[in-house]
Chains A and B, each alone.
Chain A
Amino acid sequence: MAVRSLTEVFVLMRNNALQSRHIFSEQALDDRAALVPCHDVERGSTSPRDTKLPPSWVDGIEEVEYEMTKIKQKMKELVTLHEKYLTRPTLDDSTAEEQEIEVLTQDITRMFTHCQRLVHQIRSRSHSASLQESRVNKNVVMSLVGALQDLSVTFRSAQGSYLKKLKSREERSEQFFTTPLSPVSDGGLADNLHVDQMFEQKFSQEQLLQIDDNTCMVEQREREIARVVRSIAELNEIFKDLATIITDQGTILDRIDYNLEHVQTQVHQGLQKLQKAENYQRKNHKMLCILILAATTVFLIILLVALKSH
């Protein structure tokens, strides 16, 4: 991968060219003319052509990008938290950490929604723009949506794996603690009856307390799972919304040359139509002229005949 930089040569030549132009203009100066080119320079430097500001939605891109880096950061935190939580011994009470995880998950979800709203804003703000600008806008939206989608997929898969691990751990712990009872996992009525009987017959007060504890824990886990699932469901909504914008990778629509040709043909067709329209218009003008002239001729002939015959 050899490259050769010509920037230095180019800058040197550019400076030379500028200098020679300068010298040339200085030579042309005399006392009287000295003030005139000054005006020129001033006028040149404040040429109105450059002053056009970028469209307002450009700031939105940066915002989305910033938000996305934040999401990435938070996701990293979340993953480490998940791991920490999962590798710790299970018997501990861990509401604090759970809450932390929950807050973080909610944060990320909120940020996703925010991003989505921003992208929508970017999209809707360019409606009044010119052809070129709307093309840029379309591409910007597409790329942002693509990036966002990738991010959301990783987030969802992280959540999913966490959920799976949580569940499997729960099953394992249930095996340990509630093997003979399993009141939550087995919902059968007969079983329950049987268990109830067992409660009455065999368990001491202490054991009952422990069972209460266990069920409590299980319920807490259930709640947790429900929360994660909810966050996934929320994300689904966003995802579906975004999926309608993105083009399919690997199809002809994803080819640069195809899109360029497409634009070209569009422009070409537009031009043709314009020319046609112009033609029509001109033809109309001619037709009108001819008609008016013909009418005048007829009128004049009649006038002539009328005048002669009198």
Chain B
Amino acid sequence: MNVVSVIKLYISKMIEESGPGMKVLLMDKETTSIVSMVFAQSEILQKEVYLFERMDMNSREAMKHLKCITFVRPTKENVELLTQELKNPRYGQYFIYFSNVISKADIKTLAESDEQEVVREVQEFYADYIAVSPHLFSVNCVGCYQGLGWNPVHLQRSTQAVISVLLSLKKNPVIRYQGSSELARRLAENVRQSITKEVSLFDFRRTDVPPLLLILDRRGDAVTPLLNQWTYQAMVHELLGINNNRVNLADVPGISKDLQEVVMSAEHDEFYANNMYLNFGEIGSNIKELMEDFQKKTKSQQKVESIADMKAFVENYPQFKKMSGTVAKHVTMVGELSRLVASHNLLEVSETEQELSCQSDHSENLKRIRRLIGNEKVRDIDATRLVMLYALHYERHSNNDITGLVDALKKRGVSEKLTKMVYSALEFGGSKSRSYDLFDAENVRSITRKVIKGLKGVENIYTQHTPLLRETMEDLLRGKLKEAPYPYLGTVQMRERPQDVIVFMVGGTTYEESNVIQELNRTTPGVHIVLGGTTVHNFKSFLEEMKSATVGMIMKPGGSKRVIR
């Protein structure tokens, strides 16, 4: 169950099937991202693919000596474009691969337009999602809520993505969903409908324990995407933003020109692969090691006196060059992160965030938030996220002071847009949308957990919070996930403990959760979990998500009515 290698296999197979000769890869916008996430250009060039084209760019000229591998999503526009292409073929042969199930009618239109018989192959290859890590996939759409319901376009896209994940991994799953969420239920039903429609496709060899598809809703845990992160990958995403493994550093002061945009891909960067899940402190020492190693190499590079030295130099040169690139990239990255941490007082902010999410000392928390709101160095969005966390935590507290804090934000000069988002957050992730209480310690298990935690002491005050997903998954793997809040779809039930689990988070997942899944995969033998989401959130994208979810809704902060325009 490795989504990255599956997509790699699909693409290699596509290229192999067209045989030897020069090839061009014709893609649409989304498949370009899908391919780019798993293959570097130099790797594809080695497979005799010498040209990359986008379907929607019209500056193409005829090159009959090329074979065209077309890899597109089965959308209306793509079929339309492809029809035109086939009527007027620019390349010698066409090998067409759709990333998902395509209708017979579309095939017919294509067949009718292929007057010159240039098409050699038409296939469905189910690589219809962005593989971020071996255990993490994304659909890359923000704003899938529309007034707390599904945006129909995104619902369809998400269904397709989940279906293609299932097909590519060859799983015909039992489906469970978060009962409190209408969205999860609808997605689950759509997925099941698609499966029954394409029953012949899902005819895989049965395993003893059937795989499980669990569909969750972001609204069940709105706290996780609000927190500042301290593991490398999550931190980079939170503070700088990762977009398809690319990080834009153009805003960093004093950046050199070739580092304005860098790639953070575990596939092509060993240091990153080893360190992406470590926390910031550990990264610092590892960077230092990398640096020292590099220095040693540079010194040995400097003395080129004998022929043996020369030989050694030339042999190590490509490696050396690669290493110098890696070192420059990570040193810049970590430097920028630590600059941001220092200048925005993130350590203190994060400590308060963690306390807000894990402990319940109302007056103390309130005092700290007020102090931080008064602090000049703290960014507006950090102040806002503190108030959001406070609002989510103390929504039901008898003498909470949400309005007071919002007023304090306004006094600070935080824009109207952001202060309104506090109420949106409450509407989005407030207690009525949660099936499970994130903060309260009323049930027995969480009390014992707290006691144990108290005995052990807190290891790291910045990483006290564990996402709800961890608990859900642990329950699930033990076979103890209750049926009432997470019902099965249909009559099928699972008695055994699941082994292959695909989790899909409607409304987007986070790198913190990806971290948890990676940890679970590593520590529990025989269990494979793949996590997916409509997108991978940081605070900024999560704000967008909440905004689109609560557009035009009536908010009720502490009894007084407000309308968000």
Q: Which residues of A contact B (CB under 8 A)?
A: 1-7, 9-14, 16-18, 49-50, 52-55, 58, 61, 130-133, 135-136, 139-140, 142-143, 146-147, 149, 153, 156-157, 160, 229, 232-233, 236, 239-240, 243, 247-260, 263-264, 267
Chain A neighbourhood of B265, CB < 8 A: 250
Chain B neighbourhood of A156, CB < 8 A: 311, 314-315
Known: A132-B63, A140-B22, A232-B311. 18 other contacts (CB 8 A): A1-B168, A3-B125, A10-B122, A13-B107, A14-B111, A54-B64, A61-B22, A143-B42, A143-B46, A229-B307, A236-B311, A243-B318, A250-B268, A250-B269, A252-B261, A256-B39, A260-B52, A264-B54
Residue in A2, A13, A132 whose Cβ sees the most chain B Cβ within 10 Å: A2
Interface check B57, CB cutoff 8 A? yes
Shortest beta-carbon distance from B420 to chain A in Å: 35
Q: Which residues of B contact A (CB under 8 A)?
A: 6, 9-10, 13, 22, 24, 32-33, 35-36, 39-42, 44-46, 48, 50-54, 57, 59-66, 101-102, 104, 107-108, 110-112, 114-115, 117, 119-126, 167-168, 170, 201, 204, 244, 246, 258, 261-263, 265, 268-269, 307, 310-311, 314-315, 317-318, 321-322, 325-326
Are B102 and A14 in touch, CB under 8 angstroms?
no
Shortest beta-carbon distance from B353 to chain A in Å: 33
Are B263 and A254 in touch, CB under 8 angstroms?
yes
Shortest beta-carbon distance from B449 to chain A in Å: 41
Are B258 and A251 in touch, CB under 8 angstroms?
yes
CB<8 Å pairs between A and B, sample of 26? A1-B168, A2-B170, A3-B13, A4-B123, A6-B122, A10-B107, A10-B110, A14-B114, A14-B117, A52-B62, A135-B51, A140-B50, A142-B42, A236-B311, A243-B317, A249-B268, A251-B258, A252-B261, A254-B42, A254-B263, A256-B39, A257-B33, A257-B36, A258-B261, A264-B57, A267-B59
Chain B neighbourhood of A146, CB < 8 A: 42, 45-46
Shortest beta-carbon distance from B470 to chain A in Å: 30
Give the interface SS of chain B, mostly helix, strand, loop or mixed. Answer: mixed
Chain A neighbourhood of B44, CB < 8 A: 256
Chain B neighbourhood of A12, CB < 8 A: 111
Are A10 and B111 in touch, CB under 8 angstroms?
yes
Chain B neighbourhood of A143, CB < 8 A: 42, 45-46, 48, 50
Are A260 and B32 in touch, CB under 8 angstroms?
yes
Shortest beta-carbon distance from B83 to chain A in Å: 12
Chain B neighbourhood of A50, CB < 8 A: 64
Give the interface SS of chain A, mostly helix, strand, loop or mixed. Answer: helix
Q: Tell me the complex Cα distance, A58–B66, Å.
A: 10
Q: Tell me the complex Cα distance, A125–B345, Å.
A: 58
Chain A neighbourhood of B321, CB < 8 A: 248
Q: A13-B111, A136-B63 are in contact. Are A233 and B122 (CB under 8 A)?
A: no
Chain A neighbourhood of B39, CB < 8 A: 256
Q: Tell me the complex Cα distance, A52–B123, Å.
A: 29
Q: Which residue of B lies closest to A247 (CB)?
A: B42
Residue in A52, A54, A157, A252 whose Cβ sees the most chain B Cβ within 10 Å: A252
Are B65 and A58 in touch, CB under 8 angstroms?
yes
Shortest beta-carbon distance from A148 to chain B in Å: 11
Q: Which residue of B lies closest to A5 (CB)?
A: B123
Chain A neighbourhood of B111, CB < 8 A: 10-14, 16-17
Q: Tell me the complex Cα distance, A253–B59, Å.
A: 22
Shortest beta-carbon distance from A56 to chain B in Å: 11
Are A249 and B42 in touch, CB under 8 angstroms?
yes
Are B52 and A1 in touch, CB under 8 angstroms?
no
Q: A1-B170, A153-B315, A267-B57 are in contact. Are A7 and B51 (CB under 8 A)?
A: no
Closest 4 CB pairs of A and B: A54-B65, A143-B45, A13-B111, A257-B36
Chain B neighbourhood of A140, CB < 8 A: 22, 50
Are B311 and A160 in touch, CB under 8 angstroms?
yes
Are B261 and A3 in touch, CB under 8 angstroms?
no
Q: Tell me the complex Cα distance, A251–B22, Å.
A: 25
Q: A10-B107, A143-B46 are in contact. Are A2 and B126 (CB under 8 A)?
A: yes
Q: Which residue of A lies closest to B258 (CB)?
A: A251
Contact among B6, B24, B102, B244 for A257, CB-based, below 8 A: B244
Q: Which residue of B lies closest to A137 (CB)?
A: B50
